[in-house]
Amino acid sequence: MRSAVVCLMLAVGTLLGAQAPPKAAPPKAMRLYVFDCGVLAITNIGVERYHVTTTEVGETRMPVPCFLVAHPKGTLMWDVGVIPDDDVEKAGGAHYDVNPTAAAVVTRTLRSQLAAIGYRPADITYVAVSHAHKDHTANLNQFAGATWLTPRAEREFMWKPNNERVEPRFFSALEKSKWVPLDKDEYDVFGDGQAIIKAAPGHTPGHQVLVLNLASTGRVMVAGDLYHYPPEREFRRPPPDNEFNVQQSAASRARIEEYLKATKASIWIEHEWAANAKLKKAPQYYE
């Protein structure tokens, strides 16, 4: 009788497990998870926009990563992809032209990758994007229940009429979300200095980067679109002409380079192909 009950409990447990993976417990130390949110194919004109040549760049494609910071006191989602999960699920792998020079392909949903490590979008405490361009915001609506961390200028940019650089249907639900206006150089997300959102405007009015102080990995800057291809940084090329504010971008790059030197943080260029290929992907993580 007792073994029958145990068998039944195991069977029920297996069934439940198949439906919903166990909810993740808060980690003891802060973790960083990297997800595959797609790939952008960039035309030659698109590459040259960054004041680099296709030869200098080598691999012209760009990865689209998404990130989850799991901290003992909560979670932060950082950048949320280029095609909404619902579209990816419908099409079983979806295509989307971000603009005439960038074509996106996405084969995996963000929510399936979150579920595999025990998180649902509804569980997330904070959401932030490096900036509001289409390839960083596709799944924002899923995180409307989180507290949104954004500079006021970026929020205004998002709902500016006829703004072709954003896709309002990606983030319509955030209009009613609880939000914290980030109006200083730095914002300490969990209050212990381990996750800092740092202003780096220019690419967009409120472009920002994320600095994580990971116990084993050390200090990492997830740099949004401060750069796209490594030769822009290596050869100190000027920012693209279509930045929201080219001068402000150049000033942010200079300031961030000083900061990287002073803090010995390593920079992760989100769209850098070779670096992304080497990153541990979820369910693995950095800590």
- What length is written for the chain? 287
Distance in angstroms (rounded) separating the CA atoms of residues 166 and 131: 10
Binding to Zn ion (CB under 5 A) within 103-122 occurs at none
Q: What's the CA dihedral at 9, 14, 16, 19 to 10 degrees?
A: -170
Q: At closest approach, how far in Å is the CB of 63 from Zn ion?
A: 10
Looking at beta carbons only, is 133 or 198 nearer to Zn ion?
A: 133
Look at strands 208-214 and 218-222 and give their pairing. antiparallel
Nearest C-alpha neighbor of 195 from the set 281, 73, 280: 73
> Cβ neighbours of residue 139 under 8 Å, at least 6 residues apart?
66, 80, 81, 84, 85, 110, 111, 121, 170
Looking at beta carbons only, is 30 or 158 nearer to Zn ion?
A: 158
Q: At closest approach, how far in Å is the CB of 130 from Zn ion?
A: 8
Binding to Zn ion (CB under 5 A) within 15-74 occurs at none
Q: At closest approach, how far in Å is the CB of 71 from Zn ion?
A: 25
Q: Give yes or no for residue 167 binding Zn ion (CB under 5 A).
A: no
Q: Give yes or no for residue 135 binding Zn ion (CB under 5 A).
A: yes
Nearest C-alpha neighbor of 265 from the set 204, 236, 223, 232: 223
Q: Give yes or no for residue 232 binding Zn ion (CB under 5 A).
A: no
Distance in angstroms (rounded) separating the CA atoms of residues 66 and 44: 25
Q: Rule CB under 5 A: choose which of 36, 225, 243, 272 binds Zn ion.
A: 225
Q: At closest approach, how far in Å is the CB of 131 from Zn ion?
A: 8
What single-letter DSSP state applies at residue 123?
A: G
Q: At closest approach, how far in Å is the CB of 136 from Zn ion?
A: 6
Residue range at the interface with Zn ion (CB under 5 A); choices 14-22, 67-75, 127-135, 252-260? 127-135
Residue in the structure block whose two tokens are 């040549």: 53
Residue range at the interface with Zn ion (CB under 5 A); choices 21-29, 133-141, 151-159, 231-239? 133-141
CB atoms within 10 A of CB 231: 18
Residue range at the interface with Zn ion (CB under 5 A); choices 86-94, 150-158, 172-180, 220-228? 220-228
DSSP string, 200-237: --SSSTT-EEEEEEETTTEEEEE-TTS-SSHHHHHTTP
- Which residue type does 276 have? N
Residue range at the interface with Zn ion (CB under 5 A); choices 158-166, 217-225, 244-252, 272-280? 217-225
Distance in angstroms (rounded) separating the CA atoms of residues 114 and 138: 15
Residue range at the interface with Zn ion (CB under 5 A); choices 70-78, 128-136, 155-163, 188-196? 128-136
Q: At closest approach, how far in Å is the CB of 207 from Zn ion?
A: 10
Looking at beta carbons only, is 154 or 225 nearer to Zn ion?
A: 225
Looking at beta carbons only, is 71 or 136 nearer to Zn ion?
A: 136
Residue range at the interface with Zn ion (CB under 5 A); choices 154-162, 223-231, 234-242, 252-260? 223-231
Residues that bind Zn ion (CB under 5 A): 135, 225
